Amino acid sequence: MKDERILVTGGAGFIGSHLCGRLIAAGHEVLCVDNYYTGGRRNIAHLIKNERFEAMRHDVTFPLYVEADTIYNLACPASPIHYQFDPVQTLKTSVHGAINMLGLAKRTKAKIFQASTSEVYGDPTVHPQPESYWGNVNPLGPRACYDEGKRAAETLFFDYHRQHKVRVKIARIFNTYGPNMHPQDGRVVSNFIVAALQGNDLTLYGKGDQTRAFCYVSDLVEGIVRLMATPDDVVGPINLGNTGEFTIRELAETVLKLTGSKSKIIYGPLPADDPQQRKPDITLARQTLGWEPKVQLEDGLRETIAYFKKLLAS
């Protein structure tokens, strides 16, 4: 459907900025809302002059009075270094933000997407993680502000759906990387690339044998758009992520190879509640959306390295 009025919260963030670009290219009007806590104006600079794009500084913990046909709720710091800096605000963003956006969707009769996370599975005892798994989350730990905030947001989305018939879609997003990542977001891909380009050591925690599955951002956005195009009875949650599993040590070695860096790999203690394994079961996404990632890790890393090279040189 052309010319929808689409609201994207967290639209100047890493994933949000790519989603805004995709929606503009599809012919929609996009209102990008962001408080710029972790998002950046440079991520949306190429969209500002487009007459169908508008940027608004706003914090979703406060109500927003606009009109929208569709809402994508991506507002929340998503890396540990950022969401642990102000954990109370992180929890408010997930919970109050969900309430405010769901209230807006209820009033405008908009369809609304919630960007949930693989962190709802905690340190999983089931591998890979299917949507039916309830998780193994420490509700009192330093990551709980994010993990439990996203779990509460999912609860709110389902309750608004059941009680108020709001049309909702929920995706659980696994490790994603690509251009527009924040250089100091503390995520492993950006950490390693920035360190390698600057000639600094790459730090592995524990033995570096934790595993992750890394999804390139264009693949993720494709999955989000496909989910939003499904019939109203498809609610989710649906896992979106790559199934190619790599140890953190393998990732570090690949980054060093692709950058040609002489940086060394060093080791540090494991952080609290850091999951040992993280890999999605995407059977539901394959069956329901006809979706699976296409970009191979080395190809995506090359694009991401090129982005950081340009960013660090500016």
Residue pLDDT tens, the chain, 314 long = 457 999 999 999 999 999 999 999 999 999 999 999 888 899 999 999 999 999 999 999 999 999 999 999 999 877 677 777 788 999 999 999 999 999 999 999 999 999 999 999 998 899 999 999 999 999 998 989 889 999 999 999 999 999 999 999 999 999 999 999 988 888 899 999 999 999 999 999 888 888 999 999 999 999 999 999 999 999 999 999 999 999 999 999 999 999 999 999 999 887 766 678 889 999 999 999 999 999 999 999 999 999 999 999 98
Q: Which of 228, 238, 288 is nearest to 6 (CA)?
A: 228
**Which segments of the chain does DSSP mark as H helices, in order?**
14-25, 41-44, 80-83, 87-108, 144-164, 188-198, 217-228, 248-259, 283-289, 297-313
Q: Which residues are catalytic?
A: 146
Q: pLDDT value at position 2?
A: 59
User: Three-state DSSP class for 181?
Assistant: coil
* Spatial separation of the C-alpha atoms in residues 143 and 256, rounded to whole Å: 29
Give me 47's structure tokens: 């969209």
Q: Which of 61, 14, 63, 60 is nearest to 34 (CA)?
A: 60
Q: Which residues pair with 246 in a beta bridge?
A: 212
CA dihedral 266, 272, 274, 276 (to 10 degrees): 80
DSSP state of 117: E
**Phi and psi, residue 114, nearest 5°:** -110, 125
Cβ-contact 76, 85 below 8 angstroms? no
Identify the helix (H) or strand (E) that includes residue 173: strand 168-173
pTM for the predicted model, two decimal places: 0.94
Q: pLDDT value at position 78?
A: 72
Side chain identity at residue 22, one-letter code = R
**CB neighbour list of residue 167: distance below 8 Å, 6 or more residues apart:** 105, 110, 111, 112, 161, 232
Give me 156's structure tokens: 């709110």
